[in-house]
Amino acid sequence: MALLSAATVVVVGLAACRPVPPGSTLRGLADARDGRVVGTSVEPAQFDRTADADLIAAQFSSVTPENAMKWVSVHPGPSTWDFAAADRIVEFAEAHGQRVRGHTLVWHRQNPAWLTGGTFTRDELIAVLHDHIATLVGRYRGRIAQWDVVNEAIADDGTLRDNLWLRGIGPDYIRLAFEFAHEADPDAALFINDYLIERGGAKAATLLWIVASLRSAGVPIDGVGYQTHALVPALMPTPEQFADEMRRFASRGLLVEITEMDVALHLPSDPAIDPQRQADAYGSSVMACLAVRECTGITVWNYSDAESWIPGEFPGFGEASIFDAALAPKPAFERMRQILWWDLRAR
Ligand code: XIL
């Protein structure tokens, strides 16, 4: 026994000391970890800047449209569609061997005025939802690996969030959305996606109840997406907390993914402390994902501080990404690479 643990310590020590091969990418390192993917949210304008496009293609094996597939972008009028931005993203991904996560079919935000201000009977609203999902998911059938079917359905107190779908259809809008998505693309993995579910609590309890109910009713739901937005590094759960939480869902046969990770800093940041704390927080999530077999990928929300949604949404916070505004890698990027590189099972 003593010998075995001494040997284990030596192996772990050696693995941890092996430097990350220079130039190795997040996508390459993650692929060697049972085919996991590392993704980023994208906007098509980023592809027009060579440095950004090159970085997205080199480092990431998955992309999520940041806004291009949301209702307000893609379905601006009742029978008006605009697929230009979404098409560009799917084409970019295909040209660079990247997976696409579709985002998102049902959400309480970024909906067009014709939908939020319209008057619909229950049956009419169900027909609107069906038409939207059939058209959008159907357009990319076979080309989008995962869809965030329902996004942020749970309020912070653990109740079902008040949104136009709950008001107009009732709680079974969730079931209907999954059924419509499955009908439109039977091969896509269908996710329910939310924030503040990374360390249990009221929202996670409701989520588990929703997912268990849907699965026992035979509804086609495949996975849970953990957005993993941390407004400051201290809000990130420990790897153990996060992995335990993911396992509660994985043990019910669900896939889990980290879908929108970022770690904001309170500005002005302290260069002596904050970059390392931020790296710790990013690293914790990567460790959690690697510890759970069913965790198939990690997506960051905005690859660079120049692109980040945080300053616009949370004044006083920012610098949330793994590359700085000049696209230089930050300690968080290096930490992600190191953790993906250490394979403690390697001999
Ligand atoms: C954000 C985008 O990053 C912003 O550009 C937009 O103005 C608002 O939405 N949770 C989600 C994402 O599921 O769609 C949100 O994206 C961030 C929070």
| pLDDT at residue 274, rounded to an integer | 98
| pLDDT at residue 342, rounded to an integer | 86
Question: Cα of 135 to ligand 1 centre, how many Å?
Answer: 22
| Whole-number Å distance between alpha carbons of 291 and 210 | 25
Contact 67 CB / ligand 1 (< 6 Å): yes
| pLDDT at residue 1, rounded to an integer | 40
Contact 308 CB / ligand 1 (< 6 Å): no
Contact 309 CB / ligand 1 (< 6 Å): yes
| pLDDT at residue 343, rounded to an integer | 76
Residues 6+ positions from 251 with CB-CB distance below 8 Å: none
Confirm whether 257 is a catalytic residue.
no
| pLDDT at residue 334, rounded to an integer | 97
| pLDDT at residue 278, rounded to an integer | 98
- Residue 152 backbone dihedrals phi, psi, to 5 degrees: 55, 50
| pLDDT at residue 17, rounded to an integer | 58
Question: Cα of 159 to ligand 1 centre, how many Å?
Answer: 21
Question: Cα of 11 to ligand 1 centre, how many Å?
Answer: 42
| Whole-number Å distance between alpha carbons of 245 and 146 | 21
Contact 260 CB / ligand 1 (< 6 Å): yes
| pLDDT at residue 188, rounded to an integer | 98
- Out of 198, 245, 257, 260, the active site residue is 260
Q: Give the position, in ligand 1's atom list, of the atom nearest the Cα of 309.
A: 3
Q: Give the position, in ligand 1's atom list, of the atom nearest the Cα of 41.
A: 3
| pLDDT at residue 260, rounded to an integer | 98
Contact 147 CB / ligand 1 (< 6 Å): no
| pLDDT at residue 128, rounded to an integer | 98
**pLDDT tens digits along 252-276:** 999 999 999 999 999 999 999 999 9
Confirm whether 179 is a catalytic residue.
no
Most informative mutation of 260, 263, 305 for ligand 1 (most atoms within 8 A of CB): 260
User: Is the bond preceding 104 in cis, omega lying within 30 degrees of 0?
Assistant: yes
| pLDDT at residue 346, rounded to an integer | 66
What are the residue ranges in the chain where pLDDT is below 50? 1-15
- At how many degrees (to 10) do helices 202-216 and 173-184 cross? 60
β-pairing, 317-318 vs 99-106, is: unpaired
| pLDDT at residue 9, rounded to an integer | 45
| pLDDT at residue 345, rounded to an integer | 66
Q: Give the position, in ligand 1's atom list, of the atom nearest the Cα of 151.
A: 13
